[in-house]
Structure 1
Amino acid sequence: MEIDVWKTALLFAAGVASGWINVLAGGGSILAVPVMVFLGMPGPVANGTNRIGIIAQNIAAVTGFFRKGFSDFKLSASLAACAAVGAFFGANVGVKLEGVWFERTLALIMVAVMVIMMTGAGQKPVEAGGKAKNLLLGHLLFVGAGFWGGFIQIGVGLIQLPILNRVMGLDLVRANMHKVFVALVFSIVSLAVFASQVKIEWALGIALAAGYAVGGWLGANAAVAKGEALIKKIFYLALAAMAVKLLFF
Structure 2
Amino acid sequence: MLSDPFNLILLLTAAFAAGALNAVAGGGSFLTLPALVFTGMPTVTANATGTVALLPGYASGAWGFREDLEAPPGLSLRALTALSLIGGATGATLLLLTDDRTFSRIVPWLLLAATILFAVGPMLLSKLKNHQTGHASAKKSAAGLLAVSIYGGYFNGGLGILLLALFGLLGQTSLNAMNGIKNVVSALLTAIAVGIYAWGGVVAWPQALVMMIAATAGGYFGARIARRIPAPVLRASIVATGLIMTALFFLRG
Q: Given the two structures, how large is their TM-score scaled by the length of structure 2?
A: 0.74
Structure 1 unaligned regions, length at least 5: 127-131
Return the match for 1:194 from 184, 193, 197.
197
Partner of 1:26: 26
Percent identity over the alignment is 21
Does the C-alpha gap of structure 1 residues 4 and 99 become closer, same or farther in structure 2, counting only changes over 3 Å?
Answer: closer
| Residue pairs, 1:49-128, within 5 angstroms | 49-66=49-66, 69-72=67-70, 78-95=79-96, 96-97=98-99, 98-108=103-113, 110-111=115-116, 114-115=119-120, 117-118=122-123, 120-124=126-130
Letter in 2 for 1:92: T
Q: CA deviation at 1:99?
A: 1.9
Pair member with larger Rg = 2
CA-CA distance at 1:143 after TM superposition: 0.9
Question: What is the CA–CA distance in structure 2 between the aligned matches of 1:147 and 1:214, rounded to whole Å?
Answer: 29
Distance 1:172 1:220 in 2: 20
Q: Is the 8 A contact 1:76 1:181 kept in 2?
A: no
Q: Matched residues in 2 for 1:17 and 1:118: separation? A: 25
Measure the CA separation in 1 of the matches of 2:79 and 2:209.
29
Q: Partners in 2 of 1:218 and 1:194 — Cα distance?
A: 29
Deviations 1:157-191, CA, capped at 9 Å, x for gaps: 22112112343323334322222221111111111
8 Å CA contact 2:30–2:111 kept in 1: the answer is no
Quote the residue 1:171 is aligned against.
Answer: 174
8 Å contact from structure 1 (residues 25, 157) kept in 2: no
Q: Residue 124 of structure 1 aligns to which amino acid in structure 2? A: N
Q: What is the rounded CA distance, in whole Å, between the counterparts of 2:65 and 2:181 in structure 1?
A: 10
Q: 1:107 to 1:62 in 2, by over 3 A?
A: same
Count of residues in correspondence between the two structures: 238
Instruction: Kindly report the root-mean-square deviation, in angstroms, between the aligned alpha carbons of the 2 structures.
Output: 3.7
Q: What displacement does 1:239 show? A: 4.9
TM-score by length of 1: 0.75
CA positional deviation for 1:36: 0.7
